[in-house]
Amino acid sequence: MRRTLVVSVATVTLLAPAGVARAGAVAAPSVITGFTVATTALGTLRISGWLAAPGAQVAGKHLVLEAADASRRSWYVVSLPKAPVTKPDGSFTASYGFIAYPHGYYRVRFDGDDTVAAARSGEVRDTRADTRVRGWKASRHKIRKGSRVTFHGMLLQKSGTSWTPLKHQRVYIIGRMRGSKTWYWYARPKTNGKGVFKARFRVSRDTYFTFQYYGDRTHYTEVPTVETFVNVR
């Protein structure tokens, strides 16, 4: 006696995990809009904007910040402690402390993935210019107690592709006595029409001197890396 074996075959549909496209799927076109940049004189940075991709999820997308000087010939990836990441609505906001990057122009990009295509924002002009001091020096390095010493230098700005004198700005001459970590200001000269500042005052103790320009709404601060020692005998 023959027996008939009936086999029931179930149809199984494999669903791709959330955020993972099926094979052959086309990534949704995307665009970055509303990109803004805000800075402070100390070099802190805040960026914001939106990543939009109709029909695709845009949450959790990591972005890359780029910067270039005023020439815009070369763009550099800004090294950030944490990349900006989009929220569920595609918006992103990130703030950073002082970081080293060329000032001039900014833009942000998304490199794309399986679900959302790559996109790059428009370029945003920096509202502040870099500054630096050239020719900083003291007239004397070994003096008798109470003798006068003259300090001078030239304050420059880079608002375009070259350095030019920055006039009528106040520069602080600051110092710390040997063995101390506390800095005090000794003079506050203003730069002349050629960006030159000069101050002359008495020095009574062994002291390390340097300068400080604090910047303003259109200039970054100049943070010196050199100290000039005046030895009092």
Does the pLDDT of residue 14 top 60, yes or no? no
Closest to 212 (Cα-Cα) out of 180, 181, 230, 187:
187
The residues spanned by each domain of the chain are 31-125, 130-232
Closest to 199 (Cα-Cα) out of 155, 150, 153:
150
User: CB-hemisphere CA count at 13 Å for 74?
Assistant: 5
Are 149 and 140 a contacting pair, CB within 8 Å? yes
Give the integer Cα–Cα distance in Å for 212 and 100.
18
Select the more confidently predicted residue: 70 or 211.
211
Tell me the three state secondary structure of residue 150. Answer: strand
Residue 190 φ then ψ, to 5°:
-100, 150
Q: Against a cut of 0.85, is the pTM above it?
A: no
pLDDT of the residue at 152: 96
- Out of 1.10.645.10, 2.60.40.1930, 1.10.8.870, 1.10.490.10, which CATH number does the structure's domain 130-232 have? 2.60.40.1930
Select the more confidently predicted residue: 23 or 105.
105
- Beta carbons within 8 Å of 9's beta carbon, 6+ residues apart: none
Domain covering 31-125 assigned CATH 2.60.40.10 in the classification: yes
- Residue 62 banded pLDDT, cuts 50, 70, 90: very high
pLDDT of the residue at 66: 96
115-149 pLDDT per residue, tens: 999 999 999 999 899 999 999 999 999 999 999 99
**Domains 31-125 and 130-232 equal at CATH topology level:** yes
Residue 226 φ then ψ, to 5°:
-115, 140
pLDDT of the residue at 4: 33
pLDDT of the residue at 25: 67
The mean per-residue pLDDT over the stretch 220-230 comes to 91
pLDDT of the residue at 206: 97
DSSP code for 128: S
The mean per-residue pLDDT over the stretch 8-20 comes to 36
- Beta carbons within 8 Å of 57's beta carbon, 6+ residues apart: 18, 19, 88, 115, 116
The mean per-residue pLDDT over the stretch 155-163 comes to 92
Does the pLDDT of residue 155 top 80, yes or no? yes
pLDDT of the residue at 11: 32
Does the pLDDT of residue 18 top 60, yes or no? no
Does the pLDDT of residue 2 top 80, yes or no? no
